[in-house]
Amino acid sequence: MDNINLVIMGKTGSGKSTLINAILEEDLAPTGSGQAVTKQNKMYSKKMLLPLNNENSQSNKYGMVGKKLNMYDTVGLEIDTSITQNTLKDIKKFIKKAQEDERDNDITLVWFCVNSRSSRFESYELELIKELSIEYEIPFVIVITQCYMDEKGELEKQIENDLPELSVVRVLAKEYKTRGGVVSAFGLQKLLCKSVIDYNNNKIKILETKFLRLLEDKQSKIQKLKDKGKKCVKTYGDKAKKIGFVPVGCIPIVHGMCIKMMMDLNKIVGISSSKRFANDIFADAVVGVIATPLMGIPLLSSVIASAYIETIGDAYLNTLMSVIERSSDTELKNNDLMSKRIREELQKRKK
């Protein structure tokens, strides 16, 4: 028997408990309008036969495969309340536990309910979905609930636009009586099929999104470091401009500034370096990266001194950036490894 672990989340009154009762074909979860009805997260389980390989199958309402449906009904979300914080803590615990206990054919996913008549899809809902799906690598299906009309509304279009990697399914969990007649429930079977049959595809999509997000994060982090590094180099260059005429005897002072600048650059990118290391890499940088080492020729003016410092700074910053770009987060924390890579990179640039 496979377990299907479903977390049902969404704003208060979106129809979470009604949906659970409709799927389990039993009034297990209390429902109602007005104030929040579900006051505690609660799991409802039932063994069911589900025809999960053909969503149009008419042979049996839910088909032929034996599944245990564990449906976790949760307290309605509200913006910035301590109740919602506790609800989320519980939900995270539930997801983690379900994922740890998963056997080969078990699946764990979230149905996020949004009332079709909501005026908008809130930004906190969007952020929450993104955060949870990425952190737990868990597929979400967005369930547009209480759909009395079977046509795509603005809300649904907005959600599809905001979350293109997720499935969106429209449902009416319980028939709706109007003066004009009765609108029959619809969409439940499609919801189950989308959740189970598309599970692997959806999981892959989440992993892809996570990977792209990590890549973007890394790139923007690198860009920030680069900007900070450039500022640092510029500061040292400006400092040199202020020292006025630079006689030959002052070259050690200029070199001292370069070494200090390189130590600062290391610090900016999170590498702690000893003065000795900075001295060594400075030698590498001067001999290797700058085509004509200025050591031998007199520094005639502060403008040249400043250009000299900035050239070394830029070259060293580029070296640091290329080392960081190809190092993982764990590697970045290993100071010895980073020092080794910086030296190797400088040697490579020398050739």
Ligand X SMILES: Nc1nc2c(ncn2[C@@H]2O[C@H](COP(=O)(O)OP(=O)(O)OP(=O)(O)O)[C@@H](O)[C@H]2O)c(=O)[nH]1
Residues near Mg ion (CB under 5 A): 16-17, 37-38
Q: Taking CB within 5 to 8 Å according to partner kind, which of Mg ion, ligand X, none is near residue 139?
A: none
Residues ≥6 apart with Cβ < 8 Å to 248: 298, 299
Shortest gap between Cβ of 20 and ligand X (angstroms)? 8
Whose Cβ is closer to Mg ion: residue 32's or residue 247's? 32
Shortest gap between Cβ of 32 and Mg ion (angstroms)? 8
Other residues' Cβ atoms within 10 Å of the Cβ of residue 227: 11
Which structure tokens are listed for 272? 């702690």
Q: 19 near 145, Cβ under 8 Å?
A: yes
Whose Cβ is closer to Mg ion: residue 38's or residue 302's? 38
Q: Supply φ then ψ for residue 206, to 5 degrees.
A: -65, -45
Whose Cβ is closer to ligand X: residue 38's or residue 319's? 38
Which structure tokens are listed for 275? 């003065």
Q: Taking CB within 5 to 8 Å according to partner kind, which of ligand X, Mg ion, none is near residue 174?
A: ligand X
CA dist 113 to 74, 82, 181, 246, Å?
11, 21, 26, 71
Shortest gap between Cβ of 87 and ligand X (angstroms)? 10
Interaction site with ligand X (CB under 6 A): 10, 12-18, 31-33, 36-38, 76, 145-146, 172-174, 176
Shortest gap between Cβ of 75 and Mg ion (angstroms)? 8
Q: Taking CB within 5 to 8 Å according to partner kind, which of ligand X, Mg ion, none is near residue 32?
A: ligand X
Q: What is the Cα–Cα distance from 265 to 245, expressed in whole angstroms?
A: 26
Q: Taking CB within 5 to 8 Å according to partner kind, which of Mg ion, ligand X, none is near residue 145?
A: ligand X
Residues ≥6 apart with Cβ < 8 Å to 59: 51
Whose Cβ is closer to ligand X: residue 30's or residue 256's? 30
Residues ≥6 apart with Cβ < 8 Å to 275: 259, 263
Pairing of strands 42-50, 181-183: unpaired
Strands, E assignment, 74-154: 107-115, 140-145
Q: 157 near 128, Cβ under 8 Å?
A: no
Shortest gap between Cβ of 156 and ligand X (angstroms)? 16
Q: 145 near 113, Cβ under 8 Å?
A: yes
Whose Cβ is closer to ligand X: residue 116's or residue 273's? 116
Q: 70 near 94, Cβ under 8 Å?
A: no
Which H or E run includes 228?
Answer: helix 199-242
Shortest gap between Cβ of 43 and Mg ion (angstroms)? 13
> Could you say which DSSP state residue 137 is in?
T
Shortest gap between Cβ of 140 and ligand X (angstroms)? 16
Whose Cβ is closer to ligand X: residue 17's or residue 195's? 17
Residue closest to Mg ion, measured at CB: 38
Q: 172 near 147, Cβ under 8 Å?
A: yes
Shortest gap between Cβ of 108 and ligand X (angstroms)? 20
Which structure tokens are listed for 131? 């955060």
Residue closest to ligand X, measured at CB: 76
Whose Cβ is closer to ligand X: residue 141's or residue 173's? 173
Whose Cβ is closer to Mg ion: residue 42's or residue 234's? 42
